Amino acid sequence: MLKEGAATQGVWLPLALAQIYQILIALVKMWAAKDSGIKVPTTAEALKAFCLPAMAEAVEEDEKEREALALFNSIKNLAAKQEAKAKK
């Protein structure tokens, strides 16, 4: 194993396991009834389940920032579409 990989294993391994956990829950949700009430956890929720609160908090803030940026971009695109429509 490369030295860089070994040094960062404490960061990427929990993130990878959280992603695998999410995929497994999503598969269970697909196989279960449609209204089964199973919720696929976010990466931060999965990390909290693994008892990694500091990493979960950092990932949760990143998820919130990504959601806010997506909302900003969608509003920006909507405003551009309305402006283009008004010019016609």
pLDDT tens digit string along 47-74? 888 888 888 888 899 999 999 999 999 9
CA-CA-CA-CA torsion sign (50, 52, 57, 62): negative
Place of tokens 């010019």: 87
DSSP code for 1? -
- pLDDT: is 16 or 8 the higher one? 16
User: CA angle, 64 as apex, 35 and 59 as ends, to 5°?
Assistant: 95
Q: Per-residue pLDDT tens for 27-45?
A: 888 888 776 788 888 888 8
Average pLDDT over residues 14-19: 88
Supply the pLDDT for residue 50: 82
In degrees and rounded to multiples of 5, residue 58 shows phi and psi of -65, -45
